[in-house]
Structures are given as structure tokens and as C-alpha cells.
Amino acid sequence: MTDVPYGRGGSPLQNLIAAGHRQTKLTALQMVEEMDAGPVYTKKDLDLSGTAQEIYVRAGALSTEIIRWMVSVDPEPVPQCGEPVTFRRRIPEQSRLPESGDVAHLYDFIRMLDADGYPHAFLDYGDFRVEFRKAQQGDMELSAQVKIYKRKNEA
């Protein structure tokens, strides 16, 4: 989900949004031993607006188009060129809501984590965890769906 060699590695969507990107490329590449280092069959534009779930759905539809094209054309992959930039996979603790920034940054933070199976943006408050999803950004404010549950005892 990046314009390789920029963005090889883990958590590409979250790392792109955290870095302020609004657009990316969905890249079809040949698998090789080194992660995301194979030659490229094609790259297609991918908009990064909306929640992570919405972006994943768009990427899935675009992947289908790419696969159909590859089957019909049988393209030759082209080696990647440029200096690789590697992303690190995010860990669940990195989903903790930042304590500073502006509303736009907070909106991006919540939406980049808003996908099924991904650790959602959260705050811990005493014995409780507060999770945020479905953020909507206004001029100077943000609204979001909130889920509150009792945290498990941590030893």
C-alpha cells in the first residue's frame, strides 16, 4: 500500500497517514526474500481519505482490478529504483491517543486505527479503557463513537 521503495515494511497505512500523506500507490510486486523489495508489476493511485476500514475496502477493490489486468496482460516486473524507506510495524501501545496536537492530527490518528481487527485509538482512565472510532472532524472540534470497558488486571 505504498509507492515502494518508499514505505516498505509494517503498518503501511498507519505510517502513511501519521506522516501526513493523503494519497499513496497500491503496488503489485513480485515476492522476494526481503520484505517488499521485489520488482514492481504496476502501481495504482489510492486515496487515503476516510477510516482505515474504508481505505482497506477501496484497496481490496483496486487489488481486484490489478489482478484482472495482470492475468490479461502478463506484465514483466520492473526493479524498484530509489533509496528504500522502511516502516516499522506499529505495536498496540502506539494506539494510545496523543496528549497534544490539533484537531486534524487527532482525527487522522483515530481514523488510521479505525478498522476491524486493529487496536483502536484509546485512552486509559483509571480502571477503564476508552476506545474511539468513527471520528468526524469539524472546524475546531471532533466527534467520535466511544466504547468504554473495564481493563483487565495487569500484573
Residue 155 clears pLDDT 70, i.e. is over it: no
Rounded CA gap, 99 and 143, in Å?
17
Residue 132 clears pLDDT 90, i.e. is over it: yes
| pLDDT at position 140 | 87
Q: Are 51 and 60 in contact (CB under 8 A)?
A: no
pLDDT (tens digit per residue) in 93-117? 999 999 998 999 999 999 999 999 8
Q: What phi and psi values does residue 123 have, to the nearest 5 degrees?
A: -130, 145
Rounded CA gap, 145 and 58, in Å?
22
Match domain 92-150 to its CATH number in 3.40.50.2300, 3.10.25.20, 1.10.274.10, 1.10.10.10.
Answer: 3.10.25.20
| pLDDT at position 154 | 60
Each domain of the chain, given as residue ranges in start order, spans: 6-87, 92-150
Name the pTM for this structure: 0.91
Q: Which of 103, 87, 93, 116 is nearest to 144 (CA)?
A: 103
Match domain 6-87 to its CATH number in 3.40.50.170, 3.40.1280.10, 3.30.9.10, 3.40.50.1220.
Answer: 3.40.50.170
